[in-house]
Chains A and B, each alone.
Chain A
Amino acid sequence: GEDVEQSLFLSVREGDSSVINCTYTDSSSTYLYWYKQEPGAGLQLLTYIFSNMDMKQDQRLTVLLNKKDKHLSLRIADTQTGDSAIYFCAARGASSNTGKLIFGQGTTLQVKP
């Protein structure tokens, strides 16, 4: 079945850029998502990208998609302490009849002041 993998931890200084990486196995994944989870909270949708796009920018967030390598990244510019959280990459399968998401393990982002 489909698998999504992420590195587990990233530490950056406030004001630096953060880059969180994700790889997925199903080349027919149609939609790829980034969610943020703060302690004790649910998942907050940050951004998403369709498989026919290479890049999407949304304010401080930039998503890059390399379909050939099945690699997705999330860049957060000017990282703030409020960005400290767990970031999940998720892929939606090829079937048009399901919204089932396959999640990575999550990357804990630590932002040091």
Chain B
Amino acid sequence: KAGVTQTPRYLIKTRGQQVTLSCSPISGHRSVSWYQQTPGQGLQFLFEYFSETQRNKGNFPGRFSGRQFSNSRSEMNVSTLELGDSALYLCASSLAPGSTDTQYFGPGTRLTVL
């Protein structure tokens, strides 16, 4: 069974631009969560989607948004990029929110904002 895939793996953007990251969950998984990892703040929860609906949201500004499609694939978007948005963005999938199934993470997208 293929794991969680994230594209692209690396991105370089400049301040003020916007970026879209993509995540394809494990086949059969319908829940997708996003996390931001930085050296200073560690791993922080961004949001969680299930059945195309946002179920939970972390403490991030409105510049961070996401969506989920009917095939469970998810995208997250960051608008008006700031230097502090440079991070590893990790996507995780599971069968459903709150299920006994565990979350499996993808390799991440490394975003660098110049």
Interface residues of A (CB under 8 A from B): 31, 33, 35, 41-45, 48, 88, 90, 95-106
| Minimal beta-carbon separation of A86 from chain B (angstroms) | 10
Does B66 lie at the interface of the complex (its beta carbon under 8 Å from any beta carbon of A)? Answer: no
State the Cβ distance, B99 to closest chain A Cβ, in Å: 7
Residue contact B42 to A98, C-beta cutoff 8 Å: no
Q: Which of A42, A48, A105 contacts B90 (CB 8 A)?
A: A42
Q: Give the secondary structure class of B's interface.
A: strand
> What total count of A-B pairs have CB within 8 Å?
64
Answer yes or no: B114 CB below 8 A from chain A CBs: no
Cα distance, A99 to B4, chains bound together (Å) = 16
Q: In the complex the two chains form, what is the Cα distance from A43 to B42 in whole Å? A: 13
Shortest B54–chain A CB gap in Å is: 11
Interface size on B, residues (CB 8 A): 27
Q: Given contacts A42-B90, A43-B90, A88-B43, is CB(A99)–CB(B98) below 8 Å? A: yes
> What is the CB-to-nearest-CB distance from B68 to chain A, in angstroms, rounded to a whole number?
14
- B17 in contact (CB, < 8 A): no
Choose among A42, A45, A98 the residue that contacts B108 (Cβ–Cβ < 8 A).
A42
**Residues in chain B within 8 A of chain A (CB atoms):** 4, 6, 31, 33, 35, 42-45, 48, 55-56, 58, 90, 92, 94, 97-100, 102-108
A43 to chain B, nearest CB (A): 4
A35-B105, A98-B55, A99-B94 known; 5 new pairs, CB 8 Å cut-off, are: A42-B106, A45-B104, A99-B97, A101-B33, A103-B44
Q: List 26 A-B contacts (CB under 8 A).
A: A31-B100, A33-B102, A35-B105, A42-B105, A42-B108, A43-B92, A44-B105, A45-B104, A45-B105, A88-B43, A90-B43, A95-B98, A96-B98, A97-B97, A97-B98, A98-B56, A98-B98, A99-B31, A99-B97, A99-B98, A100-B45, A101-B33, A101-B35, A101-B45, A103-B44, A106-B42
